[in-house]
Structure 1
């Protein structure tokens, strides 16, 4: 089935979508009359998504952690299906990424730019359209989009971030939202898998199912089920080389003039960041010097994180075993992904948010023996706007024109990129200096290059500004992004070409800053590097350092929670 192109002319308005939804039963003659025939050939769909599961923590991706065997089930899934090497999110933070998956749209189009913004039922397009296509829809696990997931026929979801142990859920069968709460005993990963199996076992409908199983793990603070406490206990987890070496990574935007902001931009594993670091968060004593503290923090962080990952993997196995025993495994399209990636010490960072590889890259594995060759790999550029069109394609439903993504079903079935497939992914992170001290930025990534523009200002209140600046990485020569080559003469033509592509995508996606004139003014002044723009960036850097120094002096010691922006957010909708 052909996917709708990205042209702005073809996009339906939200009002048009709602009108078409109200006429769905009449319009979809394929719905009931052809339902039995379609059910016989359309797959059941199991969409499994974890939280903050970076590709580096899946053995099949072959990172430094593969030897620890953190994901035997997911590795098996990859051997039996297709693994995508270049799948990316377009805004690496929980709620916005989830909204993109459900809408097929970039953040500015779907209205979820940052954590505190909701996704109301009328914009929950994917489950709405799957239901119209004759699927029984269900969502179990993490939701994190504030309003009721009413577009699903059945839901059992955590309020906000939820708890690792004895989680509370909103369940659709227990009355009106938000008073439909129930507490379940046990670890959240176990409880969610139990709930998914129970829902599958209790189905009486002859419709195909669309089940979203969304684990809370491996979001921090990391709490694994006790049975994993001894795993990795006597093992030294391998370190990334760029935990200790900076190289030529970064720019004035991320390190300040003369590196004066290096200790304040991006929360750290060790003691680099005086306001928020992993050593402080894990309450590791700063004994034996900075390097020993950094190593101790890294080891504890990685072990807690990987134990949560192993819990996900084992529970995925339980659900797949149930499908196998019930005879539905091979007729089910199984998708495994995460809402975004995660830094595991690379560049001395933790968390996500950045456009750098560890954060932007999403794991993506798809198994479906009836259409996807076993053991296949693809380097096609996929982003999370493509998920909804692809799932709708397998459901034999048309993706609306207002979705930015395209179905990658042809890639799954042929292993080849169709003509005209995307040559670049557009990315934007909006939450300037919120919680983890990341400057706001946008950029483009092709298969070989990545160009990032840090504009360094909030989209609402300006707050502390950070210097505007550019970064360019040659991912073929420098896969770990250790050398910013922006400004080098040999890359000048490439940088200009990528800038033109960036502008084309911003226009194509209606990703302008007309509503944010302060940001647009920064873009205009710093799009081309001039003596005036450099002088302004240096001045902003010095001012930011003064403000950060004052904050660090007032704080006295590393904080364990977010000091800025997130504070008003954290109780109701923590990161």
Structure 2
């Protein structure tokens, strides 16, 4: 009898242990499944008017020593992930480019084609379907904690643009530049912090008086009033204290863009003033171009070579903008360190991009952007995160219209408006797969006024002139361009075409549109551009097929 009781007790004990083991295993498997299916956090860091050359530049200080301008950005993102060397801004101007990031659409699809007014900028964006159906709205609906810091688009906080302090749809946390007119300020600016206008923060023209930020900056909290430091500090607070759910954080720096109400150059943080004082301006192929006779007439009109005085001004602007990027680079390091300390880095994708580039003397242009040439349209883009190959460079041709579908793909979220771009996720794992992709570069060209019927229905007048209105020194010419393979093909509305072989001519000095060796290439692009200029959705994502090679040796 006693033996039978012992056997029963042992059996019960074994069953209990087996049950506990099964429960522990199920819990462990459940936790593993939960972790495996956990949506990643995403951080997008965007600069304003930064060129690829700036990203990889070095500066020379007063002591004559050379230093890398952005060592954190290169070391913590590019070296830990993939850099895309053929990433393009579809409309190389601030507001249209930033709108494309949120919509995933070309300007000719969304209708957001200008920097200000009803066709773009804050006013255009706020009256567009993109305002309430963009990437951030989709992510927030899917459970993401979304936060925006810094610059939105031109005219936000301006009575002629959009001046409603209410936080726009899609954002859980909002600390965005609230700026009168088109002025950009690195000191003495205001922010819309979750519907409350804060500021001025710091003193206007602070660095011009050689005053100093606290020595603790950039890590001194909100006492650091320099714009780059301030919005980074606010972003870090969200990373540290936001609910334990996936984050979407977009940090939009003003740097290295010049100050619109000052002398036109950027304002570095006070600690960086003069640190690049001995740095020369780069003079790549095409700098102060000697012969522009092969350029279209609209670009030749009024063009002249830069003077010595203008080149001196270019050098000073180059130095100031590199100095302003030093604070951005410090901020990249702060963001990565905070993600690591909070345990989020392992499941976070960090993107570094620019809205558009800028000219520094190439093709005789001393400033601005807008045109389809490489300094203006080809901009920095790199990413690190789970599953992304380390220390790789990809030559795949991609665009800012690809960012929204990529982020939606990573987050397993469906966009609310059909994108023209496509996900780059596969390229993160296989960066050497170039494919036969074509992307569109365009100015302010529109398919029809029908895009703006929603404005006319509300009694908002739409300008009769839907043409270009470039900023600064480049001509206001409408164009559509295709970037595919080794080529770039450009057609201008007023007449004139360009064809560049970027493999042989990265400086875009020799227009090969009339070369016999490139006749088949030109004809292919003539056919392609007829339908690509008005593409939408899946038609924009069609490949080019195998592009013909030039018959070299024939001019």
**Same fold flag (TM > 0.5):** yes
> Is structure 2 residue 50 aligned with structure 1 residue 53?
yes
SS in structure 2 at match of 1:378:
strand
1:440-462 per-residue CA deviation (whole Å, 9 max, x = no partner) reads: 21111112111111114xxxxxx
Following the alignment from structure 2 to structure 1, what is the Cα–Cα distance between the partners of residues 417 and 47?
28
Q: 1:345 aligns with which of 351, 358, 361?
A: 361
CA contact (8 A) 1:218 1:308 kept: yes
SS in structure 2 at match of 1:371:
coil
> Is structure 2 residue 245 aligned with structure 1 residue 245?
no
Following the alignment from structure 2 to structure 1, what is the Cα–Cα distance between the partners of residues 318 and 498?
28
- Deviation of 1:40 after TM superposition, in Å, equals 5.7
CA contact (8 A) 2:69 2:326 kept: yes
- Deviation of 1:244 after TM superposition, in Å, equals 3.3
Residue 546 (structure 1) aligns with: none
SS in structure 2 at match of 1:119:
helix
1:60–1:397: structure 2 CA closer, same or farther, 3 Å change rule?
farther
Following the alignment from structure 1 to structure 2, what is the Cα–Cα distance between the partners of residues 358 and 478?
14
> Is structure 2 residue 487 aligned with structure 1 residue 480?
no
Residue 119 (structure 1) aligns with: 125
Following the alignment from structure 1 to structure 2, what is the Cα–Cα distance between the partners of residues 335 and 53?
15
> Is structure 2 residue 423 aligned with structure 1 residue 424?
no
Q: 1:451 aligns with which of 486, 489, 504?
A: 489
Q: 2:478 aligns with which of 440, 444, 455?
A: 440
CA contact (8 A) 1:425 1:445 kept: yes
1:129–1:56: structure 2 CA closer, same or farther, 3 Å change rule?
same
SS in structure 2 at match of 1:417:
coil
Deviates more, 1:84-93 or 1:306-315: 306-315
SS in structure 2 at match of 1:481:
coil
Following the alignment from structure 1 to structure 2, what is the Cα–Cα distance between the partners of residues 113 and 295?
31
Residue 156 (structure 1) aligns with: 175
Residue 73 (structure 1) aligns with: 72
CA contact (8 A) 1:39 1:207 kept: no
1:39–1:198: structure 2 CA closer, same or farther, 3 Å change rule?
farther
CA contact (8 A) 1:53 1:363 kept: yes
Residue 497 (structure 1) aligns with: 524
Following the alignment from structure 2 to structure 1, what is the Cα–Cα distance between the partners of residues 371 and 506?
16
1:105–1:99: structure 2 CA closer, same or farther, 3 Å change rule?
same
Q: 1:367 aligns with which of 384, 389, 409?
A: 384
Residue 341 (structure 2) aligns with: 325
> Is structure 2 residue 213 aligned with structure 1 residue 172?
no
1:506–1:244: structure 2 CA closer, same or farther, 3 Å change rule?
closer
Which residues in structure 2 correspond to 1:20-419 (within 5 Å)? 37=34, 41-59=38-56, 68-76=67-75, 77-116=77-116, 117=120, 118-120=124-126, 122-124=129-131, 125-144=134-153, 146=156, 147=162, 149-160=168-179, 161=182, 162-172=184-194, 174=196, 180-185=197-202, 186-203=225-242, 205-221=243-259, 222-248=266-292, 251-256=295-300, 260-263=301-304, 270=306, 290-291=307-308, 293-349=309-365, 350-368=367-385, 370-400=386-416, 402-417=418-433
1:312–1:399: structure 2 CA closer, same or farther, 3 Å change rule?
same
Superposed CA RMSD in Å reads 2.8
- Deviation of 1:250 after TM superposition, in Å, equals 5.0
1:487–1:496: structure 2 CA closer, same or farther, 3 Å change rule?
same
1:422–1:103: structure 2 CA closer, same or farther, 3 Å change rule?
farther
Following the alignment from structure 1 to structure 2, what is the Cα–Cα distance between the partners of residues 239 and 219?
20
1:137-179 per-residue CA deviation (whole Å, 9 max, x = no partner) reads: 01010001644533212111112454211320111153xxxxx
Gaps of 5+ in 2: 1-30, 59-65, 157-161, 203-224, 260-265, 445-466, 540-555
CA contact (8 A) 2:174 2:194 kept: yes
Following the alignment from structure 2 to structure 1, what is the Cα–Cα distance between the partners of residues 538 and 359?
27
Gaps of 5+ in 1: 1-33, 62-66, 175-179, 271-289, 457-467, 513-575
Following the alignment from structure 1 to structure 2, what is the Cα–Cα distance between the partners of residues 165 and 302?
20
1:97–1:238: structure 2 CA closer, same or farther, 3 Å change rule?
closer
Following the alignment from structure 2 to structure 1, what is the Cα–Cα distance between the partners of residues 533 and 146?
34
Following the alignment from structure 2 to structure 1, what is the Cα–Cα distance between the partners of residues 56 and 421?
28
Tell me the number of residue pairs that the alignment of Structure 1 and Structure 2 aligns.
428
1:376–1:470: structure 2 CA closer, same or farther, 3 Å change rule?
same
Which residues in structure 2 correspond to 1:461-472 (within 5 Å)? 468-472=495-499
Larger Rg: 2
- Deviation of 1:481 after TM superposition, in Å, equals 0.3
- Deviation of 1:181 after TM superposition, in Å, equals 4.0
SS in structure 1 at match of 2:340:
helix
Following the alignment from structure 1 to structure 2, what is the Cα–Cα distance between the partners of residues 246 and 497?
30
Residue 455 (structure 2) aligns with: none
- Deviation of 1:510 after TM superposition, in Å, equals 8.6
1:157–1:249: structure 2 CA closer, same or farther, 3 Å change rule?
farther
With normalisation by structure 1, the TM-score equals 0.69
With normalisation by structure 2, the TM-score equals 0.72
SS in structure 2 at match of 1:243:
coil
Deviates more, 1:143-152 or 1:434-443: 143-152
